[in-house]
Structure 1
Amino acid sequence: MPAAGERSAARREATGRRLARFAALRGKAARPGEFWDVVAVTAADAEQALAYRQQLAEKLSRKELPLGVRYHVFVDPPGPKIGNGGSTLHVLRCLEDLYGDKWTSFIVLLIHSGGYSQRLPNASALGKIFTALPFGDPIYQMLELKLAMYIDFPSHMKPGILITCSDDIELYSTGVTETVTFDKPGFTALAHPSDLTVGTTHGVFVLDPSHFSGKGGLEYTSCHRFLHKPDIETMRQCGAVFVRGNCSQLSSSGDHSDSEIGSECVYTDSIFYMDHSTAKQLLTFYKQMGTLCCEIDAYGDFLQALGPGATQDYTKSTSNVTKEEAQLVEVRQKLCSLLKGTTLNVIVLNNSKFYHTGTTQEYLFHFTSDSKLKFELNLLSVAFSIFPDKAETLDQSASIIQSILEPGCFIGPGSIIEYSRIGPEVSVGKNSIISGSYINLKVDIPSNCFLSSLSIKINDRVKYVSMVFSVEDNLKKSVKLLSDTHSLQFFGVSLLECLDLWGVKVSDQLFSNTHLGLWTARIFPVCSTLSESVKMSLKMLHSVQHMSAFKLNGFKLLSVEEMLTYKDVEDMLKFRKQIYDKICLQRQKEKSDL
């Protein structure tokens, strides 16, 4: 088995080749069979869909995507959340409505991006699939990376649907003569060797050790059973655990680190494909159901029904369900009966790594500290930005993405600045995220700070509001009673104490929803300019850090939830375009000066 360094170098080489292939296709019409017939992105609601469509249109006009492809944004139906499984079924319905029987001849990439990104709020307004990455010229977003990493797939795929999420990255290398082929009936999933702890938060494949060796770059096998977020004891009992380097049960590199030979691993999921006959079965099921009133998981509820070892036990288990709905068990049982006996083929990518980037901590780690990902994806410290030449301005582990930094500012280690303008008297601490902001005052922004600015439109007037948190704050946590508000933490301080400092009363009007949490707390002041909104929110943070009063009387206050409802996508994209144009101008000037 190659050493960890060789495996990493092979992944870098393979990744570079895929990126080059994609770069050559940008702005050009793909030949038949060379690329996807349809690229579909899901959205949670009409506002999110509008934001996605505007960004897609802009990318196409700038020739940043391959042309001649049907790019679609499909909105989940109104009403209860239906999960990525429900979204998958709804997309199948939309494709049939749009294309009739013709859709069954299409090769489709389906990207789930319908969440509100509460764990990575700089992606909340414009979507996780449009998250900026620290490389490319102009910079790549997750959408381009997905299209590049899957560039080899369409020409080796029978008509069907490939399903992926918008906040993960899969890098892999195969042998010279090996290809990843999706041509079998039923489902086909990619599998990645991972540490056991990673398996507890993913899907895990129970593979037959007599049918694969784990030695090569790529192996085809079938799955006996699929486990969804199992505990380690269940993995062991079901025979999902392998030993790296042992020929009967063997694996190679781990999830977030290339582990040593001899250590244990499991094979975890990422993306999966279903052929059209399976997709049609699911579509018929969806039509018969009429309306879905529960969240279905495309991984947990489709894949757990597959393979000869599948049982119905999971249909009644709600331990991994965020909200138990009355309909859920019934829907799961019907899906299980429908899919029973369907094959789950597995393509084992022995030299692969799976990165999840959907939380502030993961986002910061992978794009600043993770030397493996930096090496394999060739990430830059400064990507498509105007940046002063002074060495003291930036620590090497920081990441600057499509931003303008003026001489005199300082950016601390492990911090990410995206789509922002940073003035000369700004100092940013370590491990912070600054997004979509204009900071032109003298200020020391503390470490672990999350700052993201949004344009909003109220009564047809554009206004601005900036959210500020700690990167460790839990925006998904909520309480049921106002009296429990003290258990909510803002930058390590009880929210009740913060409200007192800001002069905000605890009342039924404090939250924009019955879920009482940081996401729904009306605490952020609406301002007439972008820089003013940043200034006010940083003053709020300063008052909490120094336990000094800063009264918000006289301001209209919004929650993050409301900020997204009122968001003005056009104005936010206009601000990004101004930065983009200024960077292009600066580059032209530098060229003419040479």
Structure 2
Amino acid sequence: MDSLSNVLRDTHSRNLSAYRRLLSDIVSTTPQTNCVFWDIVVVTAGDHQQQVVYERQIDRMLDLKRIPTQAKYHVIEDPPGSKIGSGGSTFLVMAKLSNLYSHDYLSTARVLLIHAGGYSTRLPHVSARADSQDGIQVLDLKLALYLHLLESMPPGVFLTSADGIELFSSKLPFPSEPKPYTITALAHPSSTWIGSTHGVYLLQDPEGRILEDMKLEPKDQSALLLKCQQFLHKPSLDVMQNTPNVIHNHSTIGKNDVVYTDSCYYFDPQTAKIMANTYKSLDAECDLEAWADILCFQDQFSLISTTSTTPSPHSRGRQIVKRAFQESGVELDVMVLNASKFYHLGTMQEFLEGTCTDLPFMAELNIRNRDAGIAIVGSLPPLDSIGGESPNDENKFRSVGATAHIHPPVYIENSSIPSSVSIHPHSIIVDSDLQPDAVVPRDTCIFTLQLQEHEFVTFTFSVKDDMKRAVGTNVRADTILQELKIFERVPITAILPFGNLPPPELTVSGLSLWTAPVFEIARTKQESICLALDRLDRIRRCLAEGEKKSERAVVNVEVGGHAKPMIVGWTSLNVAARRAREY
């Protein structure tokens, strides 16, 4: 590990120690710590089913004393049938809190807002499952992650996302002076390539404080509070190069072309009140993003004019937010954190990298895998596993055969893997008990959902698949199945079981892997897994055409001595996700 990783690991370890002291005080008659904690914790949900699941799991964690009980926890769902996005949800949460609590209380409260609503098509094995990790299983990590910042944070709201992990340190105390009508965003040094996929801050630094701090060792670097001149959302390299002072070239200290990118941000109670009052003006279809559409309020684009052209709900929402902030004099400050890293686990490939192969990330979070590149975890790990290895490690997963052929990186959760199974690299296996001699191709994501008491479906995708990529509307109905691809280049026609007609919904254009009902429903979990392994075998054969077919075939003709499983229905991933949550 380099010196920065060491600093971040030590900081996170201190946060975890403080968090454990908070938890120990729950069961102690004589509390031993004065650790500060959040007054209110809010998790957002995309719909009512997701809200119910999140609330049930938070209640369970509170009953088990796995999260601090001194905070007030809320799960707030988006309005039914709406599409307000994480930005609209932020305004909704502020409105809800203003109705639940008095102005005086909110003026002194510190609120953690975790955006976890909706179903992520980029992490289907997470978002589709009824015990979704995207908002809840990451909750205890998020509660611990910012404790060092909370020590000096004034009252207000700290906003973060469920799929991002921010590690940062500061030698001097974090800026703590309350600043009314101000949004304060955290900024991390990044490459220009990273900047092109995130938000980038144009900072006012006439005294060269950033360079002076960058010259220091990570252990001596401190948070710098600077004014933000402009927020650029996913700027191209040309835009960054042609915008003065966006790129920081510290070639004299061996750091070239650094930009400062977004992650979390804080806003004060007065700004929260503006959001609460503005929410009722937003359209139910505004689809605002909590970063791109909120932090850009300083931009100089014109406000809505009275022309014959009707702006979209999204454009109108951006304008409403901009007007509300500008008329109230809201400013954007940036807390520059040179001793920091931001990790995004928003795609299947990023998920695999973070849990299996990114050694600095794993070291900084004190994550230790028993075997290099192979993560084996349970669906609800013991509390003490959030910062290190659990003493009950053998109980964290169903079973993995000692001689199973597992080629890292591989992520296995709540699954049984017999010794004769072969799992190829870059694969994710969740809630799936594989049968003997099964072969999982490289880049596979396989997971099982229970829809009803006797209805199960096991999905298979490539970790590289674009789940939202839809077949064009100009494609003929009889060729839709041929045009829709799985594992990047395998036609859906190749994965359908022989002799089974596709459901009639497949004649509709615009289908994607997220919406296409091409996955078989079985009566038992094991039968659904058998159908999925057969499907993987057909995919492997299709991918192997024209290449050496050296891999052995998966044998799934019989399950437990019985005939091949009966298909009792078909489903798509988006429908199955809703049904699993309802169940």
TM range (shorter): 0.7 to 0.9
Distance of aligned partners of 1:456 and 1:48 in 2 relative to their CA distance in 1, 3 Å threshold:
same
Partner amino acid for 2:444?
C
130, 133, 136: which one pairs with 2:133?
130
Contact map agreement 1:192 1:267 (CA 8 A) in 2: yes
Partner of residue 313, structure 2? 327
Partner of residue 458, structure 2? 466
Tell me how large the CA RMSD over aligned residues is: 2.9
Contact map agreement 1:192 1:349 (CA 8 A) in 2: yes
530, 533, 546: which one pairs with 2:528?
533
152, 169, 188: which one pairs with 1:192?
188
The residue matched to 2:122 in structure 1 has which SS? coil
- In 2, Cα distance between equivalents of 1:467 and 1:121: 9
Structure-2-length-normalised TM-score = 0.83
- In 2, Cα distance between equivalents of 1:117 and 1:328: 20
Partner amino acid for 1:349?
L
Distance of aligned partners of 1:325 and 1:412 in 2 relative to their CA distance in 1, 3 Å threshold:
farther
**Aligned: 1:18 with 2:18:** no
The residue matched to 2:147 in structure 1 has which SS? coil
Partner of residue 565, structure 1? 578
371, 377, 381: which one pairs with 1:401?
377
Partner of residue 408, structure 2? 413
The residue matched to 1:89 in structure 2 has which SS? helix
Contact map agreement 1:241 1:264 (CA 8 A) in 2: no
The unaligned stretches of length 5 or more in structure 2 are 214-220, 379-396, 543-552, 558-563
**Aligned: 1:69 with 2:55:** no
Partner amino acid for 1:334?
I
Q: Counterparts in 2 of 1:163-174, with a 5 A limit?
A: 163-174=159-170
Contact map agreement 1:381 1:396 (CA 8 A) in 2: yes
Q: Deviations over 1:88-117 (max 9, x none)?
A: 111112112222433343211110001211
The unaligned stretches of length 5 or more in structure 1 are 133-139, 248-259, 317-323, 383-394, 571-594
Distance of aligned partners of 1:17 and 1:500 in 2 relative to their CA distance in 1, 3 Å threshold:
closer
Partner of residue 339, structure 1? 325
Tell me how far 1:449 sits from its aligned partner. 0.9
Aligned residues: 520
Partner of residue 546, structure 2? none
Partner of residue 136, structure 1? none
Q: Counterparts in 2 of 1:350-429, with a 5 A limit?
A: 350-382=338-370, 396-402=372-378, 403=397, 404-429=399-424
- In 1, Cα distance between equivalents of 2:202 and 2:303: 15
Tell me how far 1:313 sits from its aligned partner. 6.3
Partner of residue 250, structure 1? none
Q: Deviations over 1:366-395 (max 9, x none)?
A: 22121211221121114xxxxxxxxxxxx5
- In 2, Cα distance between equivalents of 1:97 and 1:27: 33
Partner of residue 124, structure 2? 121
- In 1, Cα distance between equivalents of 2:281 and 2:303: 23
The residue matched to 1:148 in structure 2 has which SS? helix
Q: Deviations over 1:400-435 (max 9, x none)?
A: 112132343232210000122223332211110001
- In 1, Cα distance between equivalents of 2:14 and 2:109: 26
Partner of residue 267, structure 2? 274
Structure-1-length-normalised TM-score = 0.81
Distance of aligned partners of 1:552 and 1:241 in 2 relative to their CA distance in 1, 3 Å threshold:
farther
- In 2, Cα distance between equivalents of 1:127 and 1:190: 32
205, 210, 214: which one pairs with 1:213?
210
Distance of aligned partners of 1:166 and 1:83 in 2 relative to their CA distance in 1, 3 Å threshold:
same
Tell me how far 1:179 sits from its aligned partner. 2.5
Q: Among the aligned pairs, what percent are the same residue? A: 32
Contact map agreement 1:27 1:60 (CA 8 A) in 2: no
The residue matched to 1:476 in structure 2 has which SS? coil
The residue matched to 2:228 in structure 1 has which SS? strand
- In 1, Cα distance between equivalents of 2:286 and 2:34: 39
110, 114, 117: which one pairs with 1:111?
114
Tell me how far 1:569 sits from its aligned partner. 7.2
Partner of residue 311, structure 1? 300
Partner of residue 387, structure 2? none
**Aligned: 1:450 with 2:445:** yes
The residue matched to 2:506 in structure 1 has which SS? coil
Tell me how far 1:183 sits from its aligned partner. 2.7
Q: Deviations over 1:472-530 (max 9, x none)?
A: 1111111243445433221244334325654454564238x874011111122222222
Distance of aligned partners of 1:237 and 1:275 in 2 relative to their CA distance in 1, 3 Å threshold:
same
Contact map agreement 2:106 2:269 (CA 8 A) in 1: no
Partner of residue 285, structure 1? 278
Partner of residue 560, structure 2? none
Contact map agreement 2:522 2:565 (CA 8 A) in 1: no
